């Protein structure tokens, strides 16, 4: 029971007897009607059957008593009956309201909200004088209902609205208390900030109307009434803008009631077509679609986001393109994400762009210069937001001398400027993350660019350039013969140069992919990359390729290549989402035992799906999901707004290779085979799988890892102590020899193949240059090799104990 019950005035015995007079007779009479109608159960509405017509003819006092009787006996089951008994012509008293609330309190408080049906109907019918001493209890009860998400949304809104009307009548408040209530921090803050503007003539009516929109799309009738209210309200359009501007600045999640109000306000803002309105709509859209870091699937205001996305796509200018494109790379909520993608497609169609080109043209430069820097004077210092590698950072300098941190004077005297600069770093960093993902996604598309478009979008853009300048591209004059090269800045602009440094003729440009190159070209570019010391933003030259197999052509519609693996589920799910796949979370509930992860490829024209299933936890006291098993990979082609299953032979090579690469990544990184401590589990039910997987044939990702090691190891100090075989890296230590499996990273000690468990706290490879940084297992293998080559200097007691058990007897 909530605190509201303690605030409820006590009902005198005289008043109680007066309320309860005749209730037993009324109860018997109404139940006779219910029995006759044979509809006395939860699902049916007795008020729709012919027998109910006799009840409508009862005197108002008889219906009043029947409503009170139903409230006392069946408060949570017969709300429809109660509502139809307590029609507008029935008069209730203050004692009736207190009695009804006392009944709810005696039952232990609010359950599903329907028990408040009758008191919520009675309260607005009383006078201000009758309600005066009930305001504290009604306010506390409303606050409890507002925060109770176990109550159905429609019931909660109705109850809060009706109690709110009663409270407003008693207090004389012109602004409905059901609007901008204390269910979140946004409502009270806005009430305090806007003050009198919210109660100006016509404004409360406008806000109430905005809160009535039940669907994302507004009807013509609703919009006509909205226009009338906007015209009649004193400063109505300005209040709309101020409220939405406050929400954009609020930047946090809001209550469902506030979300509904904001959705209506967004429609009100859309009636204005000026550039400022468009910019405000873009900011509101971004805030509504954003989500807390710890709950990325739950936007701050999902209803508002869905509506705002649609309205924003119909606006002119750059702000809609930039905002929607940024959301396409950051939103994790399925409902909002699908609307964003549909809005971008619609926007692109209106402007003559493909979805991929919309995303490309919308990349925000955040005011950075061509060098990726934004210098800003702050007092006697110069602050610079800059891109360093793949990250954004803030640095300070004075008289041209760089400083190590933020000067104390800046913290003390320029707090607002410092906050803006730090926020700018976050914004640039978010764009870098989404842009890296977008550019890597181009590897599954057959996109070409003219030379000017290519250089302006990928080499001159201050954000995208940090990726584009380190990638391999191809150029062609006829679209048939393509020549690969790396970008180079010449006095007259950007050009592509081959491995010998010769400039290539300008023509069409496309992103290079190894699936279109022969083996000699791939190997030559790998060697060139290492020699030049170039680190690519993601694997491109060293990228794995996946070609169709006869087995996959035989199964026709699916691939079993990565089926039958056991993955660490939470890590696998996080990696799925990090790579842009959408999947329902597995769990021990109805529908939670299987999941299908999906991701669009080929510029949104193809979709891959990856089936995985929960592996039951043998511990009955644990409900979290530890492991999942992998199953089929399938493909589908876009058909309008639907997806049509497609045979594997029809899937473009780029799409197939990129999708299978992702699935291989999930398996390779999260399989229990990569867990170095699994061998100590004894007779575990997965031990047979683990033993097979730790020495299995190399997958394409492991084969690329082997090729990288073959090029890196000769450059290392341990070159004379290592040797590569088909599946292992053999390391000769001073105590014994070891074999590191290139697929799992697990270590076996010679000569008896005893397992050596090494859990590295941090992988270290010294100053060795790696051509890519998105294969953590490569770094792990190298760090283990470096450590084992000097095994006589190992101080870790856990590793030493294993070496002793293995019987190390001298140099291998």
Distance CA 147, CA 160 (A): 11
Percent of the chain residues past pLDDT 90, beyond the cut:
57
Identify the three-state secondary structure at position 654.
helix
Residue-wise pLDDT for 612-666, tens only, equals: 998 876 665 666 788 899 999 999 999 887 899 999 999 999 999 999 999 988 9
- The torsion region of residue 367 among left (phi > 0), alpha (psi -120 to 50) and beta comes to left
Helix pair angle (60-74, 23-37), 10° resolution: 80
Neighbouring-strand partners of residue 612: 595, 630
SS3 content of the chain, % helix, strand, coil (to 5): 50, 15, 35
pLDDT confidence of residue 106: 87
pLDDT confidence of residue 779: 84
- Has residue 762 got a pLDDT over 50? no
- Has residue 247 got a pLDDT over 70? yes
Q: How far is CA 22 from CA 79, 99, 117, 418, in A?
A: 21, 15, 21, 72
pLDDT confidence of residue 644: 95
Average pLDDT, the chain: 88
Residue-wise pLDDT for 157-203, tens only, equals: 899 999 999 999 999 999 999 999 999 999 999 999 998 999 999 99
pLDDT confidence of residue 763: 47
Tell me which of 116-120, 376-380, 762-766 is least confident: 762-766
Distance CA 85, CA 620 (A): 50
Q: What is the mean pLDDT of residues 22-45?
A: 74
Distance CA 208, CA 222 (A): 12
Task: Find tokens 């084992």 and name the residue.
Answer: 788
| Contact by Cβ (8 Å): 669, 705 | no
Q: What is the mean pLDDT of residues 699-717?
A: 87
Q: Which two tokens stand for residue 175?
A: 């602004």
Q: Could you tell me which of 726, 711, 725, 721 has the C-alpha nearest to residue 784?
A: 721
CA 475 to chain centre: 37
| Contact by Cβ (8 Å): 94, 130 | yes
pLDDT confidence of residue 616: 72
Q: Which two tokens stand for residue 515?
A: 């699936």
> Both ends of the chain: CA-CA distance in Å?
75
Helix pair angle (220-232, 203-210), 10° resolution: 160
- Has residue 384 got a pLDDT over 90? yes
| Contact by Cβ (8 Å): 363, 464 | yes
Distance CA 645, CA 637 (A): 6
Residue-wise pLDDT for 428-484, tens only, equals: 998 999 899 999 999 999 999 999 999 999 999 999 999 999 999 999 999 899 999
pLDDT confidence of residue 98: 96
Residue-wise pLDDT for 516-526, tens only, equals: 999 999 999 99
pLDDT confidence of residue 196: 92
Q: What is the mean pLDDT of residues 684-690?
A: 64
Phi then psi for residue 387, to 5 deg, are -100, 120
Q: 553 CB contacts (<8 Å, ≥6 apart)?
A: 648, 649
Percent of the chain residues past pLDDT 70, beyond the cut:
92
């Amino acid at each position: 029971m909530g605190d509201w019950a303690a605030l409820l005035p006590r009902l005198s015995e005289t008043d109680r007897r007066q309320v309860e007079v005749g209730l037993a007779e009324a109860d018997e009479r109404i139940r006779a009607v219910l029995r006759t109608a044979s509809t006395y159960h939860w699902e049916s509405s007795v008020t729709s059957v012919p027998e109910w017509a006799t009840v409508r003819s009862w005197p108002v006092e008889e219906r009043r008593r029947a409503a009170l009787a139903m409230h006392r006996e069946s408060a949570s089951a017969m709300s429809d009956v109660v509502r139809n008994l307590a029609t507008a012509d029935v008069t209730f008293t203050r004692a009736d309201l207190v009695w009804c609330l006392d009944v709810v309190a005696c039952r232990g408080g609010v359950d599903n909200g329907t028990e408040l049906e009758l008191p919520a109907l009675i309260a607005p019918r009383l006078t201000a004088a009758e309600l005066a001493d009930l305001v504290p209890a009604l306010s506390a009860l409303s606050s409890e209902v507002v925060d109770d998400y176990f109550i159905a949304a429609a019931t909660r809104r109705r109850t809060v609205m009706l109690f709110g009307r009663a409270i407003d009548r008693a207090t004389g408040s012109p602004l409905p208390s059901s609007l901008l209530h204390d269910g979140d921090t946004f409502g009270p803050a806005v009430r305090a900030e806007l003050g009198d503007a919210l109660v100006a003539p016509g404004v409360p009516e406008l806000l109430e109307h905005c809160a009535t929109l039940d669907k994302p799309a507004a009807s013509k009738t609703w919009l006509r009434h909205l226009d009338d209210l906007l015209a009649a309200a004193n400063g109505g359009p300005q209040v709309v803008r101020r409220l939405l501007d406050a929400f954009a600045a609020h930047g946090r999640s809001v209550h469902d009631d506030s979300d509904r109000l904001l959705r209506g306000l967004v429609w009100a803002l859309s009636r204005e077509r000026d550039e400022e309105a468009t910019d405000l709509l873009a900011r509101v859209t971004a805030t509504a679609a954003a989500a807390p870091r710890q709950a990325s699937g739950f936007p701050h205001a999902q209803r508002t986001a869905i509506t705002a996305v649609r309205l924003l796509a119909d606006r002119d200018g750059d702000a809609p393109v930039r905002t929607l494109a940024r959301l396409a790379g950051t939103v994790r909520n399925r409902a909002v994400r699908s609307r964003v993608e549909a809005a971008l497609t619609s926007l692109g169609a209106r402007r003559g762009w493909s979805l991929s080109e919309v995303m490309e043209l919308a990349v925000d430069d955040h005011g950075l210069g061509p060098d990726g820097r934004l210098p800003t004077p702050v007092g006697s210092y110069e602050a610079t937001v800059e891109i360093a590698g793949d990250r954004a950072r803030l640095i300070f300098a004075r008289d041209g001398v760089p400083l190590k941190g933020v000067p104390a004077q800046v913290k003390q005297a320029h707090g607002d400027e410092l906050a803006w600069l730090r926020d700018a770093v976050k914004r640039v960093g978010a764009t870098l993350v989404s842009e890296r993902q977008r550019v890597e996604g181009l590897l599954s598309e057959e996109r070409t660019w003219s030379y000017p478009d290519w250089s302006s979008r990928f080499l001159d853009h201050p954000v995208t350039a940090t990726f584009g300048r380190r990638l391999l591209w191809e150029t062609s004059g006829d679209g048939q013969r393509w020549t690969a090269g790396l970008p180079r800045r010449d006095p007259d602009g950007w050009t592509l140069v081959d491995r010998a440094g010769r400039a290539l003729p300008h023509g069409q440009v496309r992103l290079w992919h190894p699936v279109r190159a022969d083996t000699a070209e791939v190997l030559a570019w790998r060697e060139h990359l290492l020699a030049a010391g170039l680190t690519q933003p993601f694997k491109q030259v060293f990228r794995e390729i996946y070609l169709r197999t006869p087995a996959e052509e035989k199964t026709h519609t699916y691939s079993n290549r990565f089926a039958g693996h056991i993955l660490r589920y939470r890590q696998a799910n996080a990696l799925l989402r990090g790579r842009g796949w959408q999947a329902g979370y597995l769990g021990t509930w109805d529908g939670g035992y299987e999941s299908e992860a999906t991701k669009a490829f080929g510029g949104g024209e193809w979709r891959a799906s990856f089936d995985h299933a929960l592996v039951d936890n043998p511990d009955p006291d644990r409900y979290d999901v530890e492991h999942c098993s992998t199953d089929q990979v399938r493909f589908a082609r876009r058909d309008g707004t639907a997806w049509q299953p497609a045979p594997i032979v029809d899937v473009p090579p780029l799409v197939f290779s990129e999708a299978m690469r992702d699935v291989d990544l999930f398996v390779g990184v999260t399989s229990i085979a990569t867990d170095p401590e699994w061998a100590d589990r004894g007779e575990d039910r997965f031990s047979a799988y683990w033993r097979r997987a730790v020495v299995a044939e190399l997958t394409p990702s492991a084969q690329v890892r082997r090729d990288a090691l073959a090029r890196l190891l000769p450059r290392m100090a341990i070159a004379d102590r290592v040797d590569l075989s088909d599946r292992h890296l053999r390391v000769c230590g001073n105590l014994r020899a070891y074999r590191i499996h290139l697929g799992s990273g697990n270590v076996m000690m010679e000569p008896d193949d005893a397992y050596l468990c090494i859990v590295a706290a941090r992988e270290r490879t010294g100053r060795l240059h790696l051509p890519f940084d998105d294969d953590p297992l490569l770094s792990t293998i190298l760090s283990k090799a470096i450590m084992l080559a000097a095994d006589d200097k190992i101080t870790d007691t856990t590793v030493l104990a294993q070496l002793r058990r293995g019987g190390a007897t001298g140099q291998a």
